[in-house]
Amino acid sequence: MPNATITSIVWRVIICGPAICLYSVCGQTPPTLQESFQAMVQGPARTPKPTPEEMSALGTRIEAASPDEVKAAVPWMIAAAATGDDGKRNCAAVGLMGVGLRTDSPALLKDHIGEVAALLNSSDSFTQGFSVTVLGSVQQRQPTAVPGLLNALLSFVKRTDRYTAAQVSAIAFLLKEFEGDQAVLDAVESFCSREIDSDSRTRIVFALGLGEAQRKPARVVDLIAANLSDPSLGVRAAAVDVLSRMGPQAVIRAEPQLRKLIQQADQPEVVKSAARKVLRDAGLSAN
C-alpha cells in the first residue's frame, strides 16, 4: 500500500488524539494541528472519543505549538465543535481550552470571540460549558475587556433554555471580572429570581462573596442576604458564611434578614448560632 494512502487513512480514521500527536507515519511529515482538525471536520461523520491519554497529549502539543500553528488551527477547532459529533466535539473542547490557557490566547482568539460565543447557542450542554470556560480564560489573560465577550455572556445568562451549570459558571466569571457592572448585577438578580436547584444557588452565593469581601457594593450584599430566606439549608448556611467574611458594614446592612433567621423557630440551631456569631463579630447584639 503506498505511503500516501496509509497517511490518508490515518488522518481520516484515527483523526483525533493519535493523529494529532503523530510524529511519523511511514516516513511522512506529521500533520499540523490545522491539517488534523481540518481532516476531522471534512472526514467521516463520526470520530471516536479521545482517550484521557490522547486528550493529555493534545493539550501538551497545543501548549508547545507555535502561535502561527495554533492560530491556523483555531477555525477548524471551532468548526469541529459545531459538527454535533461527540468525538469531534471532545477533541475541539480540548483544543480550544488548551488555546484558552495559553498566555497568548487573547491574540490567538481575538478574531474568533464571536464564533466561540456562537457555540453558546448549541443545544449540547457540554459545548455550552466548555465555551464559557474558553471565553473566561481569554478574558482573564487580558487586562482590558475583550470586545463582545461581556455582552455574549450576559445574553447567555439571560436565556431560560440553557444549561444551568454552564450559566452559573458564566455568572461566577462575570462576578469575578465585572462585579461593578450594573448590567452584570441585573443579570445575576434576574437569574436568582428563577427556580434553580440549591447547588447552583449555593455556587452563586459563594461567587458573590469572592474577591475583596469587605469592599462589596451594597447591591451585592443585598443579593447575598436575600438567600438567608431560601428553602435550602445549604443555601442559607452559605449566605451566613459569606456574610461572616464581609465586615461590619455588610452585616449591618443584612441585619434585618439575619435577625429574622434567628427568630424562626424551625431553623436548625447550627444556622442560628452562626448568624448570632456574625452579628456579635460586627459589634451588634445577638439577642
In tens, the pLDDT along 63-96 reads: 999 999 999 999 999 999 999 899 999 999 999 9
C-alpha cell recorded at residue 211: 474577591
Domain ranges of the chain: 1-134
Query: Which residues of the chain are under the pLDDT cut of 50?
Result: 1-27
**134-147 pLDDT per residue, tens:** 999 999 999 888 99
Pairwise CA distance, residues 70 & 65, whole Å? 6
Cell of 73: 488551527
Measured between alpha carbons, how far is residue 155 from residues 151, 152, 171, 187 in Å? 6, 5, 11, 9
Alpha carbon distance 34, 79 (integer Å): 11
0.75 surpassed by pTM: yes
* pLDDT of the residue at 28: 61
